[in-house]
Structure 1
Amino acid sequence: MNDKTSRAAAILFIRALLGIIFFMQGYGKIFTFGVPKLYNMFFKDFEKTFLPKWLIWGTAYYTTYVEFICGFLLIIGLFRQWALYLLALDLLIVSFGHGLLEPIWDLSHVIPRAILLIAALIIPKEWDKWNVDEIIFNK
């Protein structure tokens, strides 16, 4: 294998792994729990904070569907940059939320995702050759 092939494979791995992690998170939220049940399990405590209820509900839906949809988009490599930006916002929201309720001591869920996401964001998109964007939008 040449260096360009190895680089493309590594980038595909980073993007697909990050996509699978987020996709499965969103999948579980949607199809195992559903957003209303998820809200009662994880988001209800935020009602004790300064956040308005409409924002908490919006966040529950946003994080759930962004993880599911953007995770899938990363796996196949469609609208990669937009998916990464939306997932970066998702990680910021989730980190803020966890920190709002209690000090964040356990970063085991955030840090691996953040590292993969940062890597995917700083890798030049021209190096990511194996994706649907390349097929559809190749100029």
Structure 2
Amino acid sequence: MNTNKKIALLTIRLLLGFIFFFQGFGKLFKFGVDNVYNNFFAKTYEGILPDFLLYGTAYYTSYIEFLGGLLLIIGLKRDYTLYALASVLIIVTFGHGLVEPIWDLSHVMFRAILLLTLLLLPKEWDYYRLDTLLKKK
């Protein structure tokens, strides 16, 4: 197989993985999910969505970003990880659109393009990952 294809997919996966990983890391360990909820979710969506949904979403997106990013970096359970991260992007898109129908798409589009690229290109090209190593054994 062409080494360029393998390196290209590794690069895409690592970029996306690090973006999500550090986003989640910041929410979990720098700000704290309760602060993320209070300063971003509750203030922005107060009166629009119920608190239990906002609280659950703050935790869900924070942990999925962190764990999903980590799994992408090491290349474990790649497709399931991409599905979970896609759900985060859909939630973020819905949330931003709910508050402001015309919003800065840079929050989502770059990550969505990388994620969709990984889903659409042949999985065999994404060779340098833990899944490949475990499959050989």
Q: Which amino acid aligns with 1:97?
A: G
Aligned to 2:96: 98
Q: Which amino acid aligns with 1:48?
A: G
User: Of residues 25, 28, 36 in structure 1, which corresponds to 2:34?
Assistant: 36
Secondary structure of the residue aligned to 1:48 is coil
Write out aligned runs for 1:17-28 (5 A). Answer: 17-28=15-26
Q: Percent of pairs identical after alignment?
A: 57
What do you get for the CA RMSD once the two structures are aligned?
Answer: 1.2
Aligned to 2:45: 46
- Per the TM alignment, residue 138 of structure 1 is displaced from its structure 2 partner at its CA by 2.8
How many residues get paired?
Answer: 136
User: Of residues 72, 75, 79 in structure 2, which corresponds to 1:74?
Assistant: 72
Secondary structure of the residue aligned to 1:73 is helix
**Structure 1 stretches of 4+ moved >4 Å:** none
Return 5+ residue gaps in structure 2 as ranges: none
Partner Cα separation in structure 1 for residue 56 and residue 135 of structure 2: 32
After superposition, the C-alpha distances for 1:21-40 in whole angstroms (9 at most, x for unaligned) are: 00000001011110111111
- Per the TM alignment, residue 53 of structure 1 is displaced from its structure 2 partner at its CA by 1.5
Q: Which amino acid aligns with 1:68?
A: F
Aligned to 1:121: 119
Matched-pair contact (CA < 8 Å) for 2:96–2:103: no
Partner Cα separation in structure 2 for residue 104 and residue 110 of structure 1: 13
After superposition, the C-alpha distances for 1:60-98 in whole angstroms (9 at most, x for unaligned) are: 001000000000100110000011000000000011001
Instruction: Give the TM-score taking structure 2 as reference length.
Output: 0.95
Partner Cα separation in structure 2 for residue 104 and residue 18 of structure 1: 25
Instruction: Give the TM-score taking structure 1 as reference length.
Output: 0.93
- Per the TM alignment, residue 108 of structure 1 is displaced from its structure 2 partner at its CA by 1.2
